[in-house]
Amino acid sequence: MKFRHWLFCSTFIALLAASPAAGQSKNTQAQKPPAPGNALRLDDLVAEALRANPEIKAADLRVEALRARVPQAKALPDPTVSIGWMGRPIPFDSPSTDPMAYRGVSAMQTFPFPGKLKLRGQVADRESQAAWWEYEAARRSVVSHVKVAYFEYSYFHKALEIIENNRILLDRLTKIAETRYEAGKGLQQDVLKGQVELSQLLERITILSEEEQTAVARINTLLDRDPQTPLAPPAPLAQTQLTYTLDELYRLAQANDTGLQRDQRMIERDQDAVGLAHKSYDPDFSVSYMYQQRSDMEDNYGAFVTLNIPIFYKSKQRQEVMEASRNLASERSSRENRRTTVNYLVKEQFIAARQASKLAVLYSQAIVPQSSQTLESSELAYQTGQADFLTMLDNFMNTLDFQVNYYRQISDYQIALARLEPLVGVELVK
């Protein structure tokens, strides 16, 4: 009996000691324990994801493609050259005596109305800037998803470790109950209840193992690996301290959110597009030069200036201005919607982090120690015949659940910070 008592106490004390928040105030910075050399490091996963993730590569290539559009938009239209003849059935044969026969060459260059090329270049440049913020959004999103998957993987790994350790202990307790029953000192229901709880632990192990594999597959997918690629055990799960207030997070999000930055660039693009649409009322002009060679006559030279006349402005230019104006109004509404949505998302994750942090402190400083003491007391009472096996078993399962829930809260806290990062644009989880 003394051995079982020592095993109980040592197991729970060891599990509680592994808790980084045990004995800490919630305002105290949690120190991250050093990771073993063969442990899976979050920094390494993030670095590999930034190198290999296809979504980031695709967004980066789109930025490069749109940047290549800027000089195209600012360039003049290509000049045209014409070569022709008239009055002879054979192309470019010597001109006949017909005064109308000739062979000649001409060239023409179109010049958009002053200011149009500049505005077209600005529109294309704004689009490339908006695409860069879309790239930044993809980069932040991938990093956030890697961190979320990593913390899920860490939680499942730790939960499996706790449950497996307690399964071994529960198996020994059940065998003791079997021995007492066979000796006529115990009840059959004790044995059956112990076996049922063992089966339930095996069920939990099976479910958690599958969820752990799902987290592994998610990490590998984000790193563009085969989903079945095995991963090393994660580094010990620790709680990072959030040093920003909610108001500070609001300000960071309004300044750094990729959606707001992208919408602002699109507003600037549409402002230039409205200006360009108004300039569509202004005619473009073309300058051409012509040379004609005729038989027995002097060569002809000519130059022309051609203007387009926007006589269909009601159905063309006016509608172009209306289209650009509506696009501008739409983008402004989209930005305002994003602004309020960002504040909601920041507060949602801030509340989730605060709740998880408070619960983690409550579990580490009160619930887990108290439940461990209750279990120790019931185990001693069971040894002296003052408590039954079922009471001790219930206390055992409660303590196990509290230990697992503590690490669930630590994981949820880190996940909430990881989901805040893309919104506020600063690293909260390292």
pLDDT tens track for 290-323: 998 877 778 889 999 999 999 998 999 999 999 9
E strands, 203-333, in order? 285-293, 300-307
pLDDT of residue 15: 41
Specify whether the CB–CB gap between 144 and 50 falls below 8 A. no
pLDDT of residue 97: 60
How far is the C-alpha of 165 from the C-alpha of 176, rounded, in Å?
A: 17
pLDDT of residue 429: 87
How confident is the model over 86-139, as pLDDT tens digits?
Answer: 776 666 566 556 667 778 899 999 999 999 999 999 999 999 999 999 999 999
Residue 428 has pLDDT above 50, yes or no: yes
How far is the C-alpha of 334 from the C-alpha of 262, rounded, in Å?
A: 10
- CB 109: neighbour CB atoms within 10 A? 14
Both structure tokens of 311: 């006589």
Please state the CATH superfamily assignment of the domain spanning residues 2-76+112-280+316-424 in this structure.
Outer membrane efflux proteins (OEP) (1.20.1600.10)
Residue appearing with tokens 């409660």: 398
pLDDT, average across residues 383-410: 86
pLDDT, average across residues 264-271: 96
SS3 content of the chain, % helix, strand, coil (to 5): 65, 10, 25
Q: What is the DSSP letter of 363?
A: I
pLDDT of residue 8: 41
Residue 353's contacts (CB-CB under 8 Å, 6 or more residues apart) are: 242, 413, 416, 417, 420
How far is the C-alpha of 367 from the C-alpha of 408, rounded, in Å?
A: 14
pLDDT, average across residues 360-383: 88
- CB 71: neighbour CB atoms within 10 A? 11
Q: Quickly state the pLDDT bin for 266 (edges 50, 70, 90).
A: very high
How confident is the model over 228-247, as pLDDT tens digits?
Answer: 999 999 988 877 889 999 99
How far is the C-alpha of 226 from the C-alpha of 220, rounded, in Å?
A: 6
Distances (CA, A) of 86 to 81, 100, 137, 386: 17, 7, 62, 122
Collapsing DSSP to helix, strand or coil, 237 comes out as coil
pLDDT, average across residues 2-15: 41
Residues in the chain: 430
pLDDT of residue 23: 35
E strands, 166-260, in order? none
How confident is the model over 278-291, as pLDDT tens digits?
Answer: 999 999 999 999 99
The residue with greater pLDDT, 37 or 22, is 37
pLDDT, average across residues 327-341: 96
Residue type, 105: V
Range of weakest confidence among 45-49, 175-179, 333-337 = 175-179
pTM comes to 0.82
pLDDT of residue 35: 43
pLDDT of residue 102: 78
pLDDT of residue 79: 95
pLDDT, average across residues 268-282: 95
How confident is the model over 157-173, as pLDDT tens digits?
Answer: 999 999 988 888 778 77
pLDDT of residue 37: 53
pLDDT of residue 10: 43
Tell me the percentage of the chain whose pLDDT exceeds 70.
Answer: 87
Specify whether the CB–CB gap between 180 and 187 falls below 8 A. no
pLDDT, average across residues 199-217: 93
pLDDT of residue 13: 38
Q: Quickly state the pLDDT bin for 1 (edges 50, 70, 90).
A: very low
pLDDT of residue 2: 40
pLDDT, average across residues 360-386: 86
Collapsing DSSP to helix, strand or coil, 291 comes out as strand
> 72-89 burial string, b = 16+ CB within 10 Å, else e?
ebbeeeeeeeeeebebbe
